[in-house]
Amino acid sequence: MSPSAPRTRAAAALHMKQIALDNQGRAIRRLRAQLAIERRGLATLKKELEDTQVALKASHKVITGLTEIGLSMSKKIERMKVKKQKVRANHVECHQKFQARIHETEDPMQAQHLLIEALVDENDSLLQTIHDLQEANKAPAPFDGDWEEEPEEKRLRTFLWARER
């Protein structure tokens, strides 16, 4: 071999190393570019995540507010139901009291009505007896032929008034 051969080999090896370094340099630049792209992508994702977190917090506040409103409405509805039940119970109680009062007054009214009927019958019987006695004694009739009978209500009032005295 000639003396230039080792130099050529060394030069070739050096040249190969230079090519390898150039390739590594390109690979590093390419990887740096990919890293920059990935960092931009991550920055975008981070921004989206932050925006999502802000929206999520706002949504959570809205949900919390709506939940509070719902609970408040539920409490109001429950109070209204209780109030409605109390009103209904009071209504039933008042209705029962009025029914009891009506029943209490119906019995005396029926008794009074029966008493009035008995008194009217007795009055009619007495009038008939008087009339019969007048006919038997041939006394003149105290009334002329065109007399009008008092309304029953006025007769009863007069009779009851006289009886009270």
* Helices and strands (H and E) in the chain: how many: 2, 0
The rounded percent of the chain whose pLDDT value lies above 70 is: 85
- DSSP track, 79-102: HHHHHHHHHHHHHHHHHHHHHHHH
Query: What angle, 0 to 180 degrees and rounded to 10, lies between the N-to-C axes of helices 152-164 and 4-136?
Result: 80
For residue range 75-106, list pLDDT tens digits in order.
999 999 999 999 999 999 999 999 998 888 88
Task: Pick left, alpha or beta for residue 138 (phi over 0 → left; psi -120 to 50 → alpha; otherwise beta).
Answer: left
Predicted local distance difference test score (pLDDT) of residue 134: 86
Task: List, for residues 49-75, the tens digit of each pLDDT value.
Answer: 999 999 999 999 999 999 999 999 999
146, pLDDT greater than 60: no
Global model pTM greater than 0.85: no
Where do the domains of the chain lie? 4-164
The share of the chain scoring above pLDDT 90, in percent, equals 52
List Cβ neighbours of 97 (8 Å cut-off, separation of 6 or more): none
